[in-house]
Structure formats: structure tokens, C-alpha cells
Structure 1
Amino acid sequence: MKTLDSVDETVAALELSIVMPCLNEAETLAVCIDKAQSYLEQSNVAGEIIIADNGSTDGSQQIARDHGARVVDVPDKGYGAALIGGIAAARGSYVIMGDADDSYDFSDLDPFMERLRDGDELVMGNRFLGGIEPGAMPPLHKYLGNPVLSTIGRLFFRSPIRDFHCGLRGFNRQSIAGLHLQTTGMEFASEMVVKASLEGRRVSEVPTTLKKDGRSRPPHLRSWRDGWRHLRFLLIFSPRWLFLFPGTVAFLVGILGTLFLSLGPLVIGDVGFDLSSQVYLAALTSVGYQGVLFAILTKIYAQHEGFRIPRSRNFDRLERRISLESSALAGLALFAIGLVVAIVQFCLWASAGFGALDAGVTVRTAIPAALLMILGAQTVMAGMFLGVLSVGLKRR
């Protein structure tokens, strides 16, 4: 598969390449190409139109050639794969990409070009600012999918973009090639915005309109499947929100509850908490601690492998201090404390002739001891995994 960072720089560059992904768009392709051609002519922009065909069987390729576009055949299936192939073949200094279903107006690209010429590296269209015609966007997408996913993206990655999934967007070709975009599905739209934001690229928005597409067939987009793929991508690229924040809350609630209940039953209002609650809180502590460890290890791995994910000075200081040895020592200390408590309990049981003990008192103490041993073992194993990452880096 051709990648964005494999662009042939020996080809003389035009100013603008207009790239449209295409899979059986015979009904609307011609009008999209004609609008793009009219823009290039009327604005005196030196440009080209590229149709990234993803295996059309309705004659879209010939239609594109008949209307003066260059066809790039992309055998790898998927929206992102088609765009990666089309962008890699582009010769323009700037690229404006948009769907070939006549839902976007390719004859009105001046707002994108103005921002690109001013130095913005990614210029997103915002359909909510420019206007959405009745019937152009399903209510599920308009009122739930796009607003929720865009809000999550803004929160996770501190991005200024309010319409993460607008299909019409422009960018500096070389700048975006440096992001090494690689997702092949619909989440390509999110990947571009996320990586551009994390890398500190100049990102902006311009209003654009969305009208009802001109196709008689259903769109390729599958709401729940593709929505989940977008959400999954956002979560994976933000270990703080996927692991760290939920894990920290779970750990704090669990450990505090476990320690309080080790002193005796706890009653809040009409609700009482005792041994069974302590067991579940200890389990919550372990799960939460594992989440925090996963967040740390995921972030270290991602940074070692060259992924750009949100980082902070506090995390940088933590990364410098943790190692296989320090993790092993901390883990062994936790394990040892729990083991000492267990040994003391065993000695008390032996002094009583191994007879019956007060179950409430014994279990109430045994749960925190066992929890410390579990947390210690988790810490040691996390340190070992960190050591594996370090060995891998030395081999490279």
C-alpha cells in the first residue's frame, strides 16, 4: 500500500490537487469534477483533479477521464485507503479532499485556499457553521454522532475543530505527509485531525455547506459501525481518558473503601457496608491500579514508537524515574507489607492452637493484606514489561 510519506518529490508541483475518493459514484462524479474544473479555471489556480478509485464497477473511471480528471486506482479497500492513495499521487502543494457524491460544492473553495495560502496546515470545513440542508445529514449524525465525537476529540486532544468529520477539508500536502496517516477506514477523518492537533500543526475551520447528496443508492457509511471505529480511535490515542482517569477514580474509591472497612462496618444513611463490600472494593482497587499501569505503559510505548500523544512535564519526570529496578523494588515492598500482615495473622492463629477465629476480624484484616500483595505483584510485572520495552529499543 502506498503511504503519504512515500510521495514522489521529483514531480513538478502544482498549487492545488483536488482529491475525491470514489467507489461507484457514476451518478454524481461528473458534476463534482465539472464544479472543481470551473473553480480552477475561474480562480486561475494551477491545479489538477484526482479521482482515487477504490474498485468501481459502474464506469466511474471512464467518466472521470472523460471530464478531465486523473484516475488513481487504489486496490486497498476503505475510505482512508482510497484517500491515502489519492493524496500520495497528488502533485499540488495543497490538497483539498471531498466526497464525490455532490454533497459539497467544489466550485467554492476560496475560503480553504485563503487559509492555506496564509500558512494554515489543515483547514477543516464546518457544516454546522455553513449550513446543513434538510435531509442532508441523518438526525442521528447531526444531533448525536458528530457533536459527541467532535466534543470528545476537542476534550481529549485540545483541538479547535468543532466538526471533526467534515468530508471537505484542505491541507498542506507536505505537512500532512509528515503525520504518517495510516488508517484505512472512515476513522481516517479523525486520524488527520487528531495527529495534526497533537503535532502542533496550524489548524483552522471555515464554514461550508452540506446538501443532500445526488445518489439514488444508500451511502457507504454505516452509522454505528463507523461511529464506533471513530470513538475507538479517539480512545486509543488518549490513554489518559481510556486508562488513567477511570483507573485513578476506581483505585482511589477502592483503596479508601477497603481501608475504611478494615476498621469495621460502615453505615451511610440506611445503607450498610461490611465484608462483602470490602471484597468488591478491593477488586475495584486492583482493576483501577491495573488501569493506571496500562496508561503509563501505553504512553511510554507510544512515545518510544514515535506516536504523538498528549504528554506533560509531570509524566516526563515520572518516566525518567521509573525503571524495571525501581518498579521491582516498589512492588516487592508492597508485597512484603501484605506478606508480613499475613504472617502475623498466621502466628496469631497458631498461638490459638489453629482453632476457630473471629471470622469478621480475620477477614477484615486479610483483605487489605491480600490486596497489597496483588498490587505488589502487578507493579513487579509492569516493571518487567517496561524492561522488555527497553530491551527492544536497545536492539534497534
Structure 2
Amino acid sequence: MSVEAIAVDPVFVTVVLPCLDEEDSVGECVDEALAALDLAGYRGEVVVVDNNSTDRSVEGAAAHGARVVHEGRPGYGRALRTGIESASGEIVVMADADLTYDLSKIALLVGPIADGEADIVVGERLTEAPSSTMPFLHRRVGTPMLTMLVRRAAAGLNVTDSQSGYRAFRRDAILSLGLRSTGMEFASEMLILAGQARLRVQETSTGYRARTGISKLNTFSDGWRHVRQILLLAPHLMLVTPGLVLLAIGAGLEVVGLVDPAGLAVGSLRWQPSFISGIALILGVQAL
């Protein structure tokens, strides 16, 4: 007896775009996302989360085929949480409405999840992004530092760009994490809790384009929000600085002991730094 193949509906994907005064770019982002979904053979929708825009972003998004939901409480993270909760798809792609993320590459993010290989796929920006699209401090200092902290807080999560806002994920998996962030620190919170929950996280290069319009990012205040969130979720990281200091002290005293094996003269006595150096090195390593 022959067995006929059973047709399986293609996966349903929701693309969530938080939006605050992006009338010059949101329509093009919607078009690019819908075209990418169609090309990949996915059923889907684009949800634009209006976060109190004062321009014609809402009208532009709707005219290009997006479903618009409103989140009156300010904040990038709050807008994304509302969009994820409102999503109809079992897979959600989050991005920005300013053309920085290449939405034609949606399939690169969705594919591993649709195939059951990952729960989250992050679109890594740094490899392909030209220097003109990202400030030096963000690219060489802020992002690497925050990524290092996120990796440690997330039990060694293997990502190189924790601050990318372009990522896809299983909606149910992310909702189960109980995310609470309201600002830019949402990106860090998601990955830390995902790592602690042992979700499968992958990363793929998607590049980064020049922004259309005025950036809403505040380098120092948003950076501090990330650090504070990381430390709240992984308070053991507060031991990193003391650990580094102890390592430096231990190494320095070890060098002194090697240079002068007889010890340091302290009045009429001679002090052997090797004992203290060993303790400092051990404590430093344990703290890190």
C-alpha cells in the first residue's frame, strides 16, 4: 500500500519592528521583510509597535502592509515585549525600523529554528559591517565588553555580538523566560536568561547598514543600563574586578620573590612574599 506524503503548512513568522518616529524608513523595512518572507516560502506578518511616534510612522507602516500595535509606555524593551506578546507566529524575528538590519536575510535567522536546530539565532553585525555604520567606541569597546560580560553571565554562551537587535527565536521559549527589561538592556537580558535556561543559541553574520533618521541610542546611559542588568542577573560578576586586582598583586609578589629569594627586609626581619602571592593568585583565579 502506498503512503502519500502529507502536506505540512510552512512555518508562520512574525517580524516585530519597534518604532519611534521612523516615517522615512519604516515602510521600506516592512516591504523588505514581507518580500523576504515570501521568497523563503514562509507564511507571516510584520508587526510594527508604535512607541508614541509624533510623525506619520503609523500611517506609513499600515500603508505598506504591517499590522500596527500601540505601546504607550516608552522604552525599546517594552515595545519589543508588546510586539512579541502580540505576535501570531511561532517564530518571531525582531529588528529595527531604521534600515540598519538587512531584512532580506531573515531566512538565515529563521532557518535553523524552523529546522529544529536552534531556539535563538542572533544576527552578528561586526564581521560585515563597514566602519562608517558603527561608532568606534561601540564597535571596539562597548560591544566587546558587554559581550564578554553577557557570555560569563550566561554560562559561557557562544556569541560574539550580544548587542545585536536582529535576532529570531521561538516565541514560546522567549515568553517562558519572563523578560522584564524596558530599555536597550533587553538584548542582554534575553541572552543571559536564555543561556541560564540552556536554550540553544546560534549566531550568523548579517552585517549592519547606515541608519536612516536620528539615532535614539544614548551611549553612556544605555551602556550603564546594560551593565546594571547584567550584574542583577549574575551578581557573581561583581567579583571580576577584585579577582583581577588579586591576580595582579599575586603576580607582582611572585616576581618580587623570584628576584629576591631571600625576601624583603622589614626592619630587622625578612618577609617572604611567596606565601601571600600564592594565596592572592588562588583567590584571584577563584573570583574569575
> TM-score scaled to structure 1, two decimals?
0.58
CA drift at 1:43: 1.9
| 2:124 corresponds to 1:126 | yes
Aligned to 2:191: 193
Shift in Å, 1:55:
0.4
Partner of 1:240: 236
Q: CA deviation at 1:14?
A: 6.4
Q: Using the alignment, how far apart are the partners of 1:18 and 1:228 within structure 2? A: 28
Give the CA deviation at 1:245: 8.0
Unaligned segments of structure 1, at least 5 residues: 1-12, 254-267, 273-294, 296-396
- Write the letter of the residue equivalent to 2:167: R
Is 1:32–1:106's contact at 8 Å kept on the other side of the alignment? yes
Structure scoring higher RCO (CA < 8 A, sep ≥ 6) equals 2
- 8 Å contact kept, 1:39–1:109: yes
Give matches, 1:241-256, under 5 Å: 241-242=237-238, 246=242
CA distances 1:235-286 after superposition (whole Å, capped 9, x unpaired): 1211222259849x88xx9xxxxxxxxxxxxxx74778xxxxxxxxxxxxxx
Higher helix share: 1
The alpha-carbon deviation at position 156 of structure 1 amounts to 3.0
8 Å contact kept, 1:14–1:91: no
Give the Å deviation of 1:75: 1.0
Q: In structure 1, what residue type is equivalent to 2:228?
A: R
Matched with 2:274 is none
Listed as ranges, the matches of 1:166-205 within 5 Å are 166-205=164-203
SS at match of 1:142: helix
Where do residues 61-72 of structure 1 align in structure 2 (5 Å cutoff)? Answer: 61-72=58-69
Residue 135 of structure 1, aligned match among 127, 132, 137? 132
**How many residue pairs get matched?**
243
Cα distance between partner residues in 1 of 2:238 and 2:144: 20
Deviations 1:96-136 (A, max 9, x none): 0001110111122111121111221111011123x112311
Inter-partner Cα distance in structure 2 for 1:167 and 1:82: 13
Structure 1 residues 1-396: aligned runs within 5 Å: 15-119=12-116, 120-129=118-127, 131-157=128-154, 158-215=156-213, 217=214, 219-242=215-238, 246=242, 269=264
Give the conservation status (yes or no) of the 8 Å contact 1:134–1:212: no
Residue identity over aligned pairs, in percent, reads 38
Query: Structure 2 unaligned runs (5+)?
Result: 1-9, 250-262, 268-286
- Counterpart Cα distance in 1 of 2:120 and 2:216: 25
Amino acid at match of 1:210: Y
The alignment yields a C-alpha RMSD, in angstroms, of: 2.4
Greater Cα offset, 189-198 or 232-241: 232-241
| Aligned amino acid, residue 79 of structure 1 | Y
In the TM superposition, structure 1's runs of 4+ consecutive aligned residues that sit over 2 Å from their partners are 243-247, 268-272
Secondary structure at the aligned position of 2:126 is classed as: helix
**Residue of structure 2 equivalent to 1:389:** none
